[in-house]
Structure 1
């Protein structure tokens, strides 16, 4: 998954009752506890989808073999077992967000992205993130992808226990 960092920086989050925002996060490189349930080949019924083509409500598994792992996922029907469901997509709108601007820095982009994902979690799932069995995983532009006008932030839910999800998590209150 290291190649994904060429397009997007990734973050996993941890629940912390003492954190007033309810979220803290580290980059993928610094979070070996991040649960990945990706399969080595295509899951039954999966199709390849460009990562940037994902839409809210899409369910997917990560592709773990080169060369597609940094730009595509295995798109699945949400009724089938899957690792992630997209629940929010936005463009980075923080400081320095305009086209042709220099990268505002990983911490700035990460903070904006994670806050955006946190803010939309309850609306999609139906329960506050701090009380949920689900966790948040966000993808945001890297410095390299920023230079190619990438500003997309993708917010997904996944099972905190590492179990596969089944069905949409929209309104699940899990």
Structure 2
């Protein structure tokens, strides 16, 4: 992709919002989709969709990810319960991992405000994640070896009477789909 079209392609690709992540198999049964993912074209690790894949890390709720934290995402289909299981697992950045969280920001809306819509939320998230990228990595996004993704509130989590999630979590991953083996912080890659 040419350097001049990459930011536009990122914006367009980010308009497709993917399904949510949850923290553990126990919480999966209790929790509806918590967040939607934007601009994530990396494949979720899947060997045989009906067999739980091997994975490393400590399961956590994606809402609990913090800046500089590395993580893996795995997914499989539980044929007994007829549902997809998705797990986000924190892992040390010096271990092979899929992604690293590099920025978080709250969408500016008071409690009780209506969801602004997927398009506006995705555009806002894309812009904020793009703006924060260079300060974390030490390289302009268009010249880097990383892609940008993010988790953002869905209408359900945004308007939930108790949760009222406004947080957008920006993360990066290798643009070739390879595992990362160190933190991307100031690598200038």
TM (norm. structure 2) is: 0.72
Query: Could you report, residue by residue, the CA deviation over 1:97-140 in whole angstroms, capped at 9, with x for unpaired residues?
Result: 11111111111111111111000000000000000010100111
Residue of structure 1 in register with 2:99 after alignment: 84
Number of residue pairs matched by the alignment: 154
Equivalent of 1:114 in 109, 126, 130: 126
Q: CA RMSD in A?
A: 2.6
Structure 1 residue corresponding to 2:146, chosen from 130, 134, 139: 134
The offset of 1:35, in angstroms, is 1.6
| Structure-1-length-normalised TM-score | 0.78
Query: Is the aligned partner of 1:103 residue 2:115?
Result: yes
- C-alpha deviation, 1:41, in angstroms: 3.2
After alignment, is 57-66 or 162-171 more displaced? 57-66
Corresponding residue number in structure 2 for 1:47 = 58
| Conserved? CA contact 1:23–1:118, under 8 Å | no
Structure 1 unmatched runs, 5+: 1-13
Structure 1 residues 33, 124: CA separation in 2 closer, same or farther (over 3 Å shift)?
A: closer
> SS of the residue aligned with 2:59?
strand
Q: Distance in 2 between the 1:62 and 1:20 partners?
A: 25
